Every structure is written in structure tokens, then in C-alpha cells.
Amino acid sequence: MRRPNTVDISGRMMKYEIDARNIDEFVGIFDQRANDPGAEEYFFRSGFKYNYRVRVDTTLDPYSDAYFDQQVALYEEISGRKLDQHANEPIAFDIEAHVHRPNPYLEVSPAGMPLHIQRLSKGLRFGDLPAGARVLDFGAGHGVSSELAAYLGFRVTAIDINPHYVELINRRARRSGLPIEAVCSAFDDFQAAPDYDAAVFYESLHHATKPWETLRHVSGLLKPDGKALLVCEPINDVWWPNWGLRLDAVSVWAIRKFGWFESGWSRPFLERMMRDAGLEPVLVPDGDLAIGILAIGLKPQANISYRPPAPPPARGLSGRLRRLFGGA
């Protein structure tokens, strides 16, 4: 077993390979760097790897109880606790300090808040919602997504499992006069009439233990022309062909330190989940990896103005590229 290190005496970054036996040592090291904007890149460049012990059979049906139970066992190995989102997801913080600042994150970085706004603005722009739309903001957290949607004239219902976030959002909304109502609820427990134009998930659907069930539930809350907007969610097949816990340094740290469920899905599996929920997927790429892919799920009567860019003409392309872009 390689122990996690930072740098050797020559200044060279060392390889991080950890497992359940030394994960707490890694968390302590990560804590020292957690506020560094380059922490994620640092551990990536260090070759971080979590060596798990539980068996995960990726040939199983990804919707099956057997596969789900294996991912839960992996979560419990990493987190050192039982899966209980009502107990593990909420965290306490100084609500009063967040209420009276310009933004609910207390963000002072000249780059941090603009990045959040860029991501959310892209989602709300390509979501192409009508004026005065009714919007569900699932996993609203501190409420940045809710405040931006309300700023655009939408009527927002914010849902979060953390009662501290709910209090913060409601107090800031009253202070600012924004049309936001926050409700304390898990995703799948929230009930309402199917009268919403959109459901927004900003960096939050990946906390759902069974996101395919969450999407089906959310689809039932939308109007026939409603849309689900998945903003900055983890779409990749780095660790699993379908879905599973993300095993990068930041995710492993968050699972262990806070007990959060940090999953991710491949693009084909995300599209499958959306279609099974009655939502036609439209994925909007971005050249900036920090913005990420926007996934829009359309109900049967929904439309959006976005159209994927046309492929380049086949003339002059090599045979391989013609096949790639569908040319003759």
C-alpha cells in the first residue's frame, strides 16, 4: 500500500494511492488544501487512486437491487457509516452571516461566483422558459440558483433536505423581496400538482441514490411542455460504464468527511434514465470544461430553441472522419 504524500524533498508530487485503512490520513491532508482553488487539479495530477475492497459487478443491470446494494456497500466502505441521507446530508453553518452578504455563498473570489453564474445562466438560457415560469429548484443548497432564477422573473420553489439551507433561502428571499419559497424535503418526498414549467438541478442530482427514480418523480411534477435542466452534473464513464460513486479525490473526501452520496453517470446511462422518465434528452456541450455539459430533458410537448451544430462537410475529409461525422 502506498501512503498518501504531498511532495518529496525535491518538490516532486508523489502518487496518492489510498484505501479504507488510510483514508482518514488522506482527509487530513486534503483538509489542509481544501480552500486552495487548485486543490482538485493538484490531486488529479498526483495520480490519486482509491483502491476499494468491495465487489462491484459492472455486468449487472444498473437498475437492479443487486448492483445498487454493491454501490451502497462501496459508499459505506468509504464513508464509514450507514447510508442515511436525512442524517448525513445536512450540515450546520452560520446562517446569520450568510443572510446579509451580497451572495449566499459568502463568496469573495473574483472568479468563484462568476463561474456559478455562468453555469446557471447557460442552463436557464437554453432552457428557454416562458416569462413568469414556475420553477422547482431541487437541492437548492445556499440558494444561488433560486436567486438567479427569481432575478429573471421566475417563481421559484426551492427544495432541500437541509433545514438550515431552507431557513437561509427563505430569509434572504424575504429580505430581497424575491418570489422564492423554500421547502425542507428530500427529492422524492416532495409532492405537488403537475404545474411546473421546469425543474432545475444544479450540482445536486448526483446526490440522489437512485436518480432514475428521482427523474421519474420529477417528470410527474412538470407540465406537459415542462423541462428538467441538469446543470453541471457529473457525466463521465471514468469509473463505471453506467453509474456509481465517483472516486476522484474531492468526491472521496466529501463522502468520508460529510457522508454525502457522490455519484456520476455515463452519457448513455443518463440519456437512458431521462427517456425512461418520459424526458427526451438534449445535451448541450461546452468548450469550457469548468462549465460542463448541460442536459435538458423535454416533456412530450416541450420545445427549445437550441439546435446541435451541424457536422462539417464530408468533402476533403479522410475516410475515418467522414464516418465519424456521418459523411458519404
Q: Residue 159 is part of a domain; what is its CATH number?
A: 3.40.50.150
pLDDT at residue 250, as a whole number: 93
pLDDT at residue 311, as a whole number: 59
Angle of CA points 88, 89, 93, to nearest 5°: 105
Domain contains 306: no
pLDDT per residue of the chain (328 residues) written in tens, 0 to 9: 344 444 433 344 456 799 999 999 999 989 988 777 777 788 878 889 999 999 999 999 999 999 999 999 999 999 999 999 999 999 889 999 999 999 999 876 777 899 999 999 999 999 999 999 999 999 999 999 999 999 999 999 999 999 999 999 999 999 999 999 999 999 999 999 999 999 999 999 999 999 999 999 999 999 999 999 999 999 999 999 999 999 999 999 999 999 999 999 999 999 999 999 999 999 999 999 899 999 999 999 999 988 877 655 555 444 443 344 343 3
Query: How many C-beta atoms surround the C-beta of residue 184 within 10 A?
Result: 18
3-state SS string for the chain: CCCCCCECCCCCECCCEECCCCHHHHHHHHHHHCCCCCHHHHHHHCCCEECCCCCCCCCCCCCCHHHHHHHHHHHHHHHCCCCCHHHHCCCCCCHHHHHCCCCCCCCCCCCHHHHHHHHHHHHHHHHCCCCCCEEEEECCCCCHHHHHHHHCCCEEEEEECCHHHHHHHHHHHHHHCCCEEEEECCHHHCCCCCCEEEEEEECCHHHCCCHHHHHHHHHCCEEEEEEEEEECCCECCCCCCCEEECCCHHHHHHHHHHCCCCEEECHHHHHHHHHHCCCEEEEECCCCCCCCCEEEEECCCCCCCCCCCCCCCCCCCCHHHHHHHCCC
Intra-chain end-to-end CA distance of the chain, in Å: 53
Domain contains 19: no
User: Total domain count for the chain?
Assistant: 1
Domain contains 33: no
**Rounded CA separation 216/275 (Å):** 9
Domain contains 323: no
Q: HSE (CB half, 13 Å, CA atoms) of 221?
A: 22
Domain contains 78: no
Domain that holds residue 165: 112-245+260-298
Domain contains 287: yes
Domain contains 200: yes
Domain contains 310: no
| Distance, C-alpha 150 to centroid of its chain | 21
